[in-house]
Structure 1
Amino acid sequence: MGKVLIPLADGFEEIEAVSNIDVLRRAGLEVITAGIGGREIRGDHDIKVEADQKIEAIDSSDISAVVLPGGMPGAANLRDSKKLLEIIREVNARGDLCAAICAAPIVLEAAGILAGKKATSYPGFDDQMQSADYQEKKLVKDGNIITSRGPGLALEFALNIVEYLVGSEKSEELKKAMLFQA
Structure 2
Amino acid sequence: MSKILIPLAAGFEEIEAVTNIDVLRRAGMDVITAGIGSKQIEGDHGIKIETDTEISELSADDISAVVLPGGMPGAANLRNSAELLKLIRAVNDKGNLCAAVCAAPIVLEAAGILEGKNATSYPGFGDQMQSANYREERVVIDDNIITGRGPGVAMEFALTIVEYLLNGKERVELEKAMLVK
SS in 1 for 2:6: strand
Structure 2 match to 1:94? 94
Amino acid aligned to 2:21: I
Matched, 1:120 2:129: no
Distance in structure 2 (CA, Å) of the matches to 1:67 and 1:9: 13
Q: Displacement of 1:145 after TM fit? A: 0.1
Distance in structure 1 (CA, Å) of the matches to 2:136 and 2:157: 15
Q: TM-score, normalised by structure 2?
A: 0.99
Amino acid aligned to 1:156: E
Structure 2 match to 1:37? 37
Amino acid aligned to 2:124: G
Count the aligned residue pairs.
181
Amino acid aligned to 2:59: D
SS in 2 for 1:12: coil
The unaligned stretches of length 5 or more in structure 2 are none
Q: Displacement of 1:41 after TM fit? A: 0.2
Q: Displacement of 1:52 after TM fit? A: 0.4
Deviations 1:147-174 (A, max 9, x none): 0000010000000000011111111100
Q: Displacement of 1:60 after TM fit? A: 1.1
* Cα RMSD after superposing both structures: 0.5
Structure 1 match to 2:160? 160
Distance in structure 2 (CA, Å) of the matches to 1:175 and 1:27: 11
SS in 2 for 1:107: helix
The unaligned stretches of length 5 or more in structure 1 are none
SS in 2 for 1:89: helix
Distance in structure 1 (CA, Å) of the matches to 2:154 and 2:88: 20
Report sequence identity in percent.
70
Amino acid aligned to 1:101: V
Amino acid aligned to 1:27: A
Deviations 1:37-90 (A, max 9, x none): 100000000000001000000111121110000000000000000000000000
Distance in structure 1 (CA, Å) of the matches to 2:167 and 2:81: 31
Structure 2 match to 1:110? 110
Amino acid aligned to 1:85: L
Structure 2 match to 1:18? 18
Distance in structure 1 (CA, Å) of the matches to 2:68 and 2:119: 14
SS in 1 for 2:163: helix
Distance in structure 2 (CA, Å) of the matches to 1:45 and 1:167: 33
Distance in structure 2 (CA, Å) of the matches to 1:169 and 1:137: 23
Distance in structure 2 (CA, Å) of the matches to 1:16 and 1:60: 23
